[in-house]
Structure 1
Amino acid sequence: MRVLWLWPSKECPPAGIEVRPQNDHADRLGAVITVAALSPSLDITYVVDQLRLGEIHRPTEVHRVAGGKSLNLARAATAVGAPVQTIALLGGSTGDFLESELRREGIGVRRVDSPTETRTCVSIGSAAGHELTELYPYAPAIPDAAWQEFRRVFAEELSAADGWLAINGSVPDGPPADALAALTRLAIDAGLEVAIDSHGPALAGVLEARPQLIKVNRYEAAELLGRDPDRAEVAELAKIISARTGGSVIITDGRAGAVFCSVEAGTVRAELPADVSGHYPVGSGDSFLGGWLAATDRGADPADALRLATGCGAANALIPGPGLLDRRTARQIADRTVLSRLS
């Protein structure tokens, strides 16, 4: 089994340990990006030679990370130099592990205790067929007392924050139906810019709160607007959503790239280099948004932010483990990303 460690570059790792180069955070600039994590998880990725149902498997690689969409975003943004502070609902020994992992990675954590153990999600990658099998339990319901404490801590953190707030992922059972919209309004009223990546009723309910950025994939956008995802034109979907919120919209579309739309900048498509393809897409959308926020936080225009976001999403798919990416690889892909103006 191959075990990957992060090891300081000036020290020698133990014999037999493969080193993953650490990301260099010396270029961090800009305001702290605040990330709200309502449904975090311990994400475990097993890599096996070939997955066969009903048989015992001996993984060749095992990767454990503090996951869930929000924490994947936080890790990716940190990898490309952004300072990040998370507000995370964490429970039990699993929550303890996630908190320690985030701190080890240089990500700020304001923990809100949950009486329920933080969930564990598992992905199994087959090296032979490049297939990924995912076991993702729903996030546990949030008791009312924990939700009220989360809101209190959230408001307290916002009072000292500036820049971007990101909320991505599902809202577990328990909080009111308008929970996502309520958090969005709190952040906007506190002077922050808000980025939302969600789906279903929570996403529909947040439109009237008018967040500065909505980032979804083709299927989530089509669901929001009641369209057929296989027939819908992504650029058209982006324009409709942008018109409703008055803000920016990004729709990712797998290997087809992504479309950005705003009233000020128009509509732009980003296309991946043809020779870039990864086998571990879990967390790529989160990494995309992390790259976008990191670039925008440093003052990049939409075109440059779209390039870095595309590079981060693609780089994530090259490495097992969601939100894990190499900064240099992400920037190399970003430099080769092709942008075309649609309107």
Structure 2
Amino acid sequence: MIVILNANPSFDRTLIVDEIKSTGVIRGKKVFKHPDGKGMGAARVLNLFKVDYMCLNILGGKTGSMIYDLATAENLNMRVFKIKNESRINTIVVDKKNNTLVINEPGPFVERKEIERFKIWIQSQIEKFKLSDEDNYFIVGGSFPRGFTRQDFEDILSFVHKNSFKVVIDISKEFLKVALEQHVWMIKVNLHEISDLIPAKNEEIISFVHENYRVENIIITAGRSGSFGRFLGMNFKTIISKSEKRYAVGSGDAYLGGIMYGIANHFKPSSIIKIAAACGAANTEEIGPCVFEKEHVEKWLNLITVREVDIR
């Protein structure tokens, strides 16, 4: 079973404009509205490929209700923990040259009593989904709302580990450091996020994380430069033969969704990485987070090469 924690969902408004300017009035030509958050992007990919999963969300206020309504209209498998304060609205502005400006709100503040109830709630969800006859995966996608502390995250990871879930992390900053210290099963982060924490560069990051934090699976995405890492014992680098400046918001989430799709279907490691990279690239075909179709993935599979490499 794949359980996804999307702790800080958002209502995304993507505005298409002629030109992004630093001052003055910018008039939108078209608006796209989507429920989002890193975890929900990965869930959308699993939904596309009909992989069994459950996406757990923290939602509050009228914005939270809009996120839930839009997500259920897409037939995403959702469970919700409700809080008092309002969920966030993010604004993405894209111009004719595919220049992109992303404005992320800080998100709601979750009160201490709500956080304690949430930790009890998530334990009940984990116990419901735990299966004894197959591997179980717990994905943490994206940031936590304000109010959550490092200790809260440690508590969640500790309980998940005790229930034999393999933990997959796509998060940044202090909580990424916590995940590394907890020796999670896999991290999937972009190069900028990991570079802020690790005193190493590019491929050297893989060896540093593996040796110092005992994390077995480390995947780093680098936009149009492809991805690299260590996955199921294979050191790899992906190469994209065609690279254009396109809409990229959500590509990392699509990549993670592709990884979990491949794992769920027991594909070999190189095939999983190739599918994941194709999903990340396919995300650039449509405006919106992970709203591409299978034919987009099939197109990009022919443009991606996965090479085994020697990472020291």
TM-score by length of structure 1 reads 0.83
Task: Decide whether the 8 Å contact of 2:240 with 2:304 is kept in 1.
Answer: yes
Alpha-carbon distance between aligned partners in 2 of 1:200 and 1:105, rounded to the nearest angstrom = 31
Distance between the aligned counterparts of 1:147 and 1:256, measured in 2?
A: 39
CA contact (8 A) 2:170 2:187 kept: yes
How many Å apart are 1:56 and its aligned residue?
4.4
**Can you list the C-alpha shifts for 1:32-74, whole angstroms capped at 9, x where unaligned?**
x211111111011011122345554443321111112221221
Would you say 1:136 and 2:93 are equivalent positions?
Answer: no
CA-CA distance at 1:224 after TM superposition: 1.6
Q: In the alignment, is residue 325 of structure 1 matched against residue 273 of structure 2? A: no
Within-5 A mapping of 1:263-274: 265-274=233-242
Contact 1:80 1:291 in 2 (8 A): no
Partner of 2:273: 306
What secondary structure sits across from 1:260 in the alignment? strand
Mapped to 1, the partners of 2:29 and 2:75 lie a distance apart of 28
1:199 aligns with 2:167: no
| 1:165 to 2:116 alignment | no
SS at the partner of 2:197? Answer: helix
Q: Which residue of 1 aligns with 2:208?
A: 240
Contact kept? 2:285, 2:296, Cα under 8 Å: no
Whichever residue aligns with residue 172 of structure 2, its letter is: H
Opposite residue 89 of structure 2, the aligned amino acid is T
Of all paired residues, the percent bearing the same amino acid is: 21
Letter paired with 1:266: M
Find the residue that maps to 1:178 and give its secondary structure: helix
Query: C-alpha separation between the residues in 1 aligned to 2:187 and 2:78?
Result: 24
Which one-letter code corresponds to 1:108 in the other structure?
A: N
- On the 8 A contact 2:186/2:215 being kept in 1, the answer is no
CA–CA distance in structure 2, aligned partners of residues 138 and 64 of structure 1: 19
1:2-13 equivalences in 2 (<5 Å): none
Residue 282 of structure 1 deviates from its aligned partner by 1.0
Post-superposition shift, 1:160?
Answer: 2.1
Residue in structure 2 matched with residue 252 of structure 1 by the alignment: 221
Q: Which residue of 2 aligns with 1:20?
A: none
Q: How many pairs are equivalent?
A: 304
**One-letter identity of the residue aligned with 1:85:** M
Contact 1:147–1:175 (Cα < 8 Å) also in 2: yes
Q: Which residue of 2 aligns with 1:15?
A: none
Query: Residue in 2 aligned with 1:47?
Result: 16
Take 1:142 and 1:320, find their aligned partners in 2: how far apart are those partners? 31
In structure 2, the CA distance between the partners of 1:222 and 1:104, relative to structure 1 (3 Å rule), is: same
Does the CA-based 8 Å contact 2:98-2:245 persist in structure 1?
Answer: no
What is the TM-score of this pair, normalised by structure 2? 0.91
Q: Contact conserved, 2:13 with 2:92, CA < 8 A, in 1?
A: yes
1:201–1:314 Cα change, 3 Å: same
Which residue is 2:75 aligned to? 106
In structure 1, the residue matched to 2:124 is 156
Task: State which of 214, 217, 238 in structure 1 corresponds to 2:187.
Answer: 214
- Do the aligned residues in 2 keep the contact of 1:273 with 1:333 (CA within 8 Å)? no
For the Cα contact (< 8 Å) 1:198–1:216, is it kept in 2?
Answer: yes
Deviation at 1:172, TM superposition (A): 2.7
Q: Which amino acid aligns with 2:290?
A: G
Please report how far the alpha carbon of residue 178 of structure 1 lies from its aligned counterpart in structure 2 after TM superposition: 2.7
2 CA distance for matches of 1:126 and 1:134? 12
**1:200-225 deviations in Å (ceiling 9; x for gaps):** 11111122322111011111221121
Q: Residues 235 and 81 (structure 1 numbering): CA distance in 2 closer, same or farther, change over 3 Å?
A: farther
Q: What is the distance in 1 between the residues matched to 2:46 and 2:221?
A: 17
Detail structure 1 runs of 4+ shifted over 6 Å in the superposition: none
**AA of the residue aligned to 1:138:** P
Q: Are residue 187 (structure 1) and residue 154 (structure 2) matched?
A: no
8 Å contact from structure 1 (residues 39, 68) kept in 2: yes
The two structures, once aligned, show a CA RMSD in angstroms of: 1.8
Report the counterpart of residue 84 of structure 1 in structure 2: 53
Cα separation, partners in 2 of 1:334 and 1:81, compared to 1, 3 Å: farther
Given that 2:92 and 2:101 are in contact with CA atoms closer than 8 Å, whether structure 1 keeps it comes out as yes
Structure 2: which amino acid aligns with 1:164? Answer: Y
Q: Which runs of 5+ in 2 are unaligned?
A: 131-135
* Distance in 2 (alpha carbons) for counterparts of 1:220 and 1:53: 26
> What residue in structure 1 maps to residue 115 of structure 2?
147
1:298 & 1:147 partners in 2: Cα distance? 35
